[in-house]
Amino acid sequence: MNCPKCNADLIKKYYKGMIEVDSCPNCRGMWLDFNELDKLEDVVFDDDAHKGSLVHFQSKTNYPCPQCGAGLDEFQYRLYDLRLDTCAENGHGFWLDAGEDERVMTLMRQRSADIQRKLDAEASWRQTLKGMHLFLTKKKN
Ligand SMILES: [Zn+2]
Ligand SMILES: [Zn+2]
């Protein structure tokens, strides 16, 4: 397979020792199979229900999918300020430019912290409601 951005030969490598990716030795981008982006996110945040939807504002590019040659689509990643490329035609996977993998990890780490804060807030609110309820029922008796 060739790099969609600079056409160099992609080489297999183990990203963080657990996800097999095809990486470009020249521009340092990497190709992730369709489910590998999810695996990458799961390293820091594995709560799929709270990730938000993945693809927004898709537009065609002239970069070829390394697997089938179809033009990749650029899209906004989960409404963050980050644009990734995907083989929308055949669902082969995602292209991440150099450094974009770290951006994905950082965004998911923030998301995870935000969700945790929200859950903590909800839990303490439930405790408050429970306390009020007990207080009110005691008063009635
Ligand atoms: Zn390249
Ligand atoms: Zn493809």
Query: What's the pTM?
Result: 0.81
Cα 133 to ligand 1 centroid, rounded to whole Å:
62
Contact 51, 111 (CB under 8 A): yes
Cα 101 to ligand 1 centroid, rounded to whole Å:
15
Residues of the chain with pLDDT under 50: none
**Whose atoms come closest to the Cα of 64: which ligand?**
2
Pairing of strands 19-23, 30-33: antiparallel
Contact 67, 93 (CB under 8 A): yes
Cα 58 to ligand 1 centroid, rounded to whole Å:
22
**Whose atoms come closest to the Cα of 2: which ligand?**
1
Query: CA gyration radius for the chain?
Result: 21
